[in-house]
Structure 1
Amino acid sequence: MTTHTGPVDHELVEAAVRVARTRCRGDHHTMAAAGRARDGRIVTAVNAYHFTGGPCAEMVLIGAAAAQGVYELDTVVAVGDRGRGVVPPCGRCRQVLADYFPALRVVVGNGDDTRTVPVVDLLPERYVWTDRPGGTG
């Protein structure tokens, strides 16, 4: 696998950090995500943890973006509460993000190693669940 890295959208990371710091409280909301729309807007969200499972911040972000009329995201990042920094998407989120936004870039890494990579590089040989051209629903 060849990973193509790109510049980090620091404003996007800071938006996610701000939401994690101000909105993630207790055990129900422990992760924040931010996404940059194609028109430059930033959409944010937090996860909804529950012992039966719950949507990750990236999944909530997709719905929050759609509710605001944003159907195309260019870049996303997730960060943990309590100053944990950038957290890469879980396998389920990688699959869903790649299905919704095949050209999406994802901020991963931490500290000096923070970088932006194509979501498809995070999920090589991904499952394509549709027969539509381009692999989207």
Structure 2
Amino acid sequence: MRTDSIDHELIEAAAHVARTRCQGDNHTMAAAARARDGRIVTAVNAYHFTGGPCAELVLIGAAASQGAYELDTIVAVGDRDRGVVPPCGRCRQVLLDYFPTLKVIVGRPDHLRAVPITALLPESYIWAHHQLDTD
């Protein structure tokens, strides 16, 4: 996808949360997602040495708590101006399972693009296959 088709408002929402809420070692990543109804939901990770959840996973719960069960696009941004960070493997699988048609913003600042979650986890088992639109 071309950079101009990227949801820049979504990236800025995540970057704002990363700048203002990610303080110290417990919260180092922020995520933002656009719900199908246009709302933006944000969250931060909960780092813990036992393997606390990433910002993308916290965002799934935050979205559900706000009644946003369908997400179109998601992005994660690191603290300390690290910019857009792609989801880890665990997050890729969970995002695919929850939202098989989700778009994920990835790439360097000069080459951001929105890709289908399926492109980030090719040839995978789709647990939520019943949720795919078969039209």
Q: Unpaired runs of 5+ in structure 2?
A: none
| Aligned AA (1:133) | H
Cα deviations across residues 21-47 of structure 1 (Å, max 9, x unaligned)?
A: 000000000000000000100000000
Separation in 2, partners of 1:13, 1:133: 30
Q: Which position in structure 2 is the counterpart of 1:114?
A: 112
Please, what TM-score do these two structures have when normalized by structure 1?
Answer: 0.91
Query: For the aligned residues, what is the CA RMSD?
Result: 1.3
Separation in 2, partners of 1:42, 1:111: 21
Correspondence list, 1:45-60, <5 A:
45-60=43-58
Paired residue secondary structure (1:103): coil
Q: How many Å apart are 1:134 and its aligned residue?
A: 4.1
Q: Which position in structure 2 is the counterpart of 1:26?
A: 24
Q: How many Å apart are 1:127 and its aligned residue?
A: 2.4
Separation in 1, partners of 2:124, 2:17: 30
Q: How many Å apart are 1:14 and its aligned residue?
A: 0.1
| Aligned AA (2:43) | A
Q: Which position in structure 2 is the counterpart of 1:14?
A: 12
Residues 56, 91 of structure 2: 8 Å contact kept: yes
Separation in 1, partners of 2:127, 2:101: 17
Residues 96, 126 of structure 2: 8 Å contact kept: no
Residues 31, 75 of structure 2: 8 Å contact kept: yes
Residues 45, 53 of structure 2: 8 Å contact kept: yes
Give the share of equivalent positions with the same residue, in percent: 74
Correspondence list, 1:76-87, <5 A:
76-87=74-85
Q: Unpaired runs of 5+ in structure 1?
A: none
Residues 106, 113 of structure 2: 8 Å contact kept: yes
Q: How many Å apart are 1:111 and its aligned residue?
A: 1.1
Separation in 2, partners of 1:85, 1:100: 25
Please, what TM-score do these two structures have when normalized by structure 2?
Answer: 0.92
Structure 1 position 62 matched with structure 2 position 60: yes
Correspondence list, 1:71-110, <5 A:
71-110=69-108
Count of paired positions: 130
Separation in 1, partners of 2:121, 2:92: 6
Paired residue secondary structure (1:13): helix
